[in-house]
Amino acid sequence: MRPEILYPAFRSVTSLKGVGSKLGKLVEKACGGRLLDLFWHLPTGLIDRRPTPKIAAAPDGVVASLTVRIERHVRPRTPRLPYRVLCSDETGTLALVFFNGKEDWLRANLPEGEMRIVSGRVEHYNGEPQMTHPDRIATLAEAHSVLVVEPVYPLTTGLSPKVLARAVAQALEIAPDLPEWLEPSLLAREGWPAWRAALLRLHAPQDEADIAPMTPPRRRLAYDELLANQLALALVRAHTKRLSGRPIRGDGRLRKRVLAALPYRPTAAQTQALAEIEQDLASEHRMLRLLQGDVGSGKTLVAFLAMLVVIEAGHQAALMAPTEILARQHHAGLEPLARMAGIRLALLTGRDKGRAREALLADLAAGRIDVVVGTHALFQQDVAFHDLAFAVIDEQHRFGVHQRLMLTSKGLGVDVLAMTATPIPRTLALTAYGDMEVSRLLEKPPGRRPVTTRVLALERLDEVTRAIQRKLAEGARVFWVCPLVEESEAVDLAAAEARHHQLAELFGAEGVGLVHGRQKGAERDRAMEDFASGRSRLLVATTVIEVGVDVPEATVMVIEHAERFGLAQLHQLRGRIGRGGRAGTCLLLYGQPLGETARARLKILRETEDGFRIAEEDLRLRGAGELLGTRQSGLPEFRVADLAAHADLLEMARDEAKLILARDPELAGPRGPALRILLYLFERDEAARTIRSG
């Protein structure tokens, strides 16, 4: 249960005065729908309204607060012209300009002959100073409310700065005084304030330095967030380890068959990773290992050989993938290996219905299936295994801890191997996986050819289509990836459909396929199947093909608006080509103007195919907020911590989490209640639940 002290923080923003359902939707779009979300919505800038120059000395283009006498109101001659209010002080005159101004309101707030303070940006028009739509209008008695430093918050269309600032201020009033979860010695050493004091100071910056990531209040809250993250991972891991495993040793007969039938030998890295996994399987403790390898480094073979160890010992294995496309791909890739080994392989997705599904579930429960590949469908309630002992979770950062626990609860002491092709820098690996044991596949298997990467401006599209025409004439197969439009699947789709239409006219409708996330499963599979078999030779796609799509014959990839993609995402997409022993070409098309960061990103991609170097550069260039497109990758998104700036705090938090659990594994000691509050404050509820579930 969430601690009672936090109840107010989880109330809806519509519980605030002046925030109805319409405004509530806008606030939710900008930062989230609960008061807690307003706590973490930190200022990104400030407006200093304290300067009070005379009119003649007010600098152009700068915000100032001027004390003026209201001289007269000038109605516009036509509705298209603005309403003007002329003001003065002893040094000159100033025009206040209002477009679509309401005369009654303006006369009430700016009465002729009276003194007022007006605050806003001063600009000179035809040499005369003016202020268009002042941000603040106040009487002299209200000067204290105007001459302040105002925080500037990220907004969304339709939400005014004033409304959002008022909502944040109200939310902060109810921010509770929480018990301290940090050691007094740490607070003293770092010079950090208490939690509530840190929060209030971050929302009341007095100068630019106050909004930098390295200020004590920001570092304090960043550390809290990272500690909650590391403590949660450590708790889940401890929970997994506490559930005793069962030692599993195979006799090698099935692996021998497969290795003898393979047309190549596994790389040294694959052999090493398999040895590490075998050792984990044989131990008394449950395995929780991450197999990290670049696109095409041969993770699936390692995972399959590990499954064979389990099957040799008489148990079952499961492989869970985040999307149906990827599950089907894995199933197709494992089928020939399963035939070599002489084992029974099945596929279970949400699309399986009726009698076929019932028969498959009956076989699974009776132990007639050795390995099942599937999506989230695997942990549905009616799915029962005869003896599940090993679960492989592909692209595991796309699944929550809870989902992983649901799958492992379907067997006894289930060992878990997580796989990812997303190259994750060490800093981020810590936030996503804690201290999970890691095996890395750093070599590429034989038959992988380098990919030539070229960067071209979108203006050269005609040139690109002519080059593609030549490639198609030579029998090549081509991926054409459409631009990623921030936050809008509908616009992504429109872009893909428009490009598909244009290319189908150029190259013939039969030869050009289309794949996107909104298609029905069967339709998408048909388009993929047409491309894999060669019935279509050019496939227009959104980023739905980013993970796991395997068409060895594809040798060319065109990525439109490459500057909109994350580095690691571009690397993942590029990894779809050059897989069939033929060299590949990747064309990155960018729109003008190209910013410095985007330019640096495309340059790195041209220089290297090393996924780990690419990921480290991505972290350095973009910070973790956007890294790997966290929205796409499912890696933890931090509200306060900035991993590029706070990497040292992450190391501290990891060590502290280890120490806390070594001393008090159940969080039952004096610090326990405060640490539980910390977990719920940063919404690590799943971890808090594992304490109770033992």
Cα distances from 147 to residues 142, 152, 236, 242, in angstroms, run 9, 15, 50, 59
Q: Are strands 83-89 and 62-74 parallel, antiparallel or unpaired?
A: antiparallel
pLDDT at 435: 60
Comparison of pLDDT for 519 and 13, the residue scoring more: 13
157 contact partners, CB below 8 Å, separation of at least 6:
none
pLDDT at 491: 61
* Amino acid present at 629: G
Q: Predicted confidence band at 632 (pLDDT cuts at 50, 70, 90)?
A: very low
Q: What percent of the chain has pLDDT over 90?
A: 55
- Per-residue pLDDT, averaged over 583-606, amounts to 87
Q: Is the dihedral of CA 229, 231, 233, 236 positive or negative?
A: negative
pLDDT at 173: 96
pLDDT at 628: 38
Q: What percent of the chain has pLDDT over 70?
A: 89
CB 316 within 8 A of CB 386: yes
Highest averaged pLDDT of the listed ranges 64-73, 244-253, 612-621 = 64-73
631 contact partners, CB below 8 Å, separation of at least 6:
637
pLDDT at 405: 67
Per-residue pLDDT at 246 exceeds 70: yes
Q: Which of 35-49, 63-77, 375-389, 391-405 has the lowest mean pLDDT?
A: 391-405
Per-residue pLDDT at 577 exceeds 80: yes
- The architecture in CATH of the region 253-441 reads 3-Layer(aba) Sandwich (3.40)
Q: Predicted confidence band at 630 (pLDDT cuts at 50, 70, 90)?
A: very low
- Per-residue pLDDT, averaged over 154-168, amounts to 91
Q: Which of 3-7, 519-523, 585-589, 662-666 has the lowest mean pLDDT?
A: 519-523
* Measured distance CA(34)–CA(37) in Å, rounded: 5
Please report, for the chain, the start and end positions of each structural domain, with discontinuous segments joined by +. Answer: 4-45+155-212, 50-147, 219-242+653-693, 253-441, 451-608
Q: Predicted confidence band at 273 (pLDDT cuts at 50, 70, 90)?
A: very high
Q: 475, 501, 486, 671: which is closest to 556 by C-alpha?
A: 475
Report the run of H or E that residue 453 belongs to, with start and end. strand 451-457
pLDDT at 625: 43
Highest averaged pLDDT of the listed ranges 440-449, 508-517, 606-615 = 508-517
- Per-residue pLDDT, averaged over 40-46, amounts to 94
Cα distances from 161 to residues 26, 139, 156, 157, 165, in angstroms, run 12, 22, 10, 11, 6
Report the run of H or E that residue 455 belongs to, with start and end. strand 451-457
- Per-residue pLDDT, averaged over 489-509, amounts to 80
Per-residue pLDDT at 259 exceeds 60: yes
Report the run of H or E that residue 40 belongs to, with start and end. helix 35-40
- Per-residue pLDDT, averaged over 612-641, amounts to 62
Comparison of pLDDT for 15 and 687, the residue scoring more: 15
Structure-block tokens of residue 679: 């977990």
pLDDT at 402: 61
- Per-residue pLDDT, averaged over 319-338, amounts to 89
Q: Predicted confidence band at 47 (pLDDT cuts at 50, 70, 90)?
A: very high
- Per-residue pLDDT, averaged over 388-401, amounts to 78
Q: How many Cα neighbours within 13 Å face the side chain of 684?
A: 28
pLDDT at 433: 66
Comparison of pLDDT for 435 and 448, the residue scoring more: 448
CATH of domain 50-147: 2.40.50.140
By three-state DSSP, how is residue 414 classified? strand
Q: Predicted confidence band at 65 (pLDDT cuts at 50, 70, 90)?
A: very high
- Per-residue pLDDT, averaged over 443-467, amounts to 85
- Per-residue pLDDT, averaged over 588-612, amounts to 85
DSSP type of residue 33: S
Average pLDDT, the chain: 87
Burial class (CB in 10 A: 0-12, 13-18, 19+), 598: buried
Q: Are strands 538-541 and 477-481 parallel, antiparallel or unpaired?
A: parallel
* Measured distance CA(641)–CA(660) in Å, rounded: 21
Comparison of pLDDT for 582 and 34, the residue scoring more: 34
Structure-block tokens of residue 283: 């131990």
pLDDT at 493: 61
- Per-residue pLDDT, averaged over 236-258, amounts to 85
Per-residue pLDDT at 601 exceeds 90: no
Q: Predicted confidence band at 626 (pLDDT cuts at 50, 70, 90)?
A: very low
- The fold adopted by the segment(s) 451-608 is Rossmann fold (3.40.50)
Distance, CA of 169 to chain centre: 28
Q: Predicted confidence band at 144 (pLDDT cuts at 50, 70, 90)?
A: very high
What does the angle CA 235 – CA 237 – CA 239 come to, to the nearest 5 degrees? 70
64-67 long-range contacts, CB within 8 A, separation 24+: 64/119, 64/120, 64/122, 65/117, 65/118, 65/119, 65/136, 65/146, 65/147, 66/94, 66/117, 66/118, 66/119, 66/122, 66/131, 67/115, 67/116, 67/117, 67/140
Dihedral of the alpha carbons of 438, 442, 446, 449, in degrees to the nearest 10: 130
Structure confidence by residue, pLDDT tens digits, 642-672 = 877 888 899 899 999 999 999 998 899 999 9
Q: Which of 22-26, 226-230, 242-246, 557-561 has the lowest mean pLDDT?
A: 242-246
Cα distances from 538 to residues 338, 459, 509, 559, in angstroms, run 31, 21, 10, 13
Going across the sheet that includes 388-394, the strands are: 345-348, 371-374, 316-320, 388-394, 411-420, 288-293, 437-441
pLDDT at 426: 67
Comparison of pLDDT for 404 and 623, the residue scoring more: 404
* Measured distance CA(279)–CA(266) in Å, rounded: 18
Q: What is the CA radius of gyration of the chain?
A: 30
Diameter of the chain measured on Cα atoms: 99
Q: Which of 77-91, 131-145, 283-297 has the lowest mean pLDDT?
A: 283-297
Highest averaged pLDDT of the listed ranges 191-195, 467-471, 552-556, 683-687 = 191-195
Cα distances from 328 to residues 192, 335, 531, 569, in angstroms, run 52, 11, 15, 21
Per-residue pLDDT at 105 exceeds 80: yes
Q: 117, 85, 114: which is closest to 98 by C-alpha?
A: 85
- What DSSP line would sit under 456-520, residue for residue? EEGGGHHHHHHHHHHHHHTT-EEEEEPPP-TT-HHHHHHHHHHHHHHHHHHH-GGGEEEE-TTS-
CB 248 within 8 A of CB 315: yes
- Per-residue pLDDT, averaged over 471-483, amounts to 89
Q: Predicted confidence band at 388 (pLDDT cuts at 50, 70, 90)?
A: very high
Q: Which of 59-73, 329-343, 618-632 has the lowest mean pLDDT?
A: 618-632
Per-residue pLDDT at 91 exceeds 50: yes
Highest averaged pLDDT of the listed ranges 44-48, 321-325, 687-691 = 44-48
Q: Predicted confidence band at 140 (pLDDT cuts at 50, 70, 90)?
A: very high
Q: Predicted confidence band at 446 (pLDDT cuts at 50, 70, 90)?
A: low
CB 166 within 8 A of CB 18: yes
Q: Predicted confidence band at 595 (pLDDT cuts at 50, 70, 90)?
A: confident
Helix (H), strand (E) counts: the chain: 25, 21
Per-residue pLDDT at 635 exceeds 70: no
What does the angle CA 568 – CA 572 – CA 575 come to, to the nearest 5 degrees? 135
Q: Predicted confidence band at 352 (pLDDT cuts at 50, 70, 90)?
A: confident
Q: Do domains 253-441 and 451-608 have the same CATH topology?
A: yes
Per-residue pLDDT at 367 exceeds 70: yes
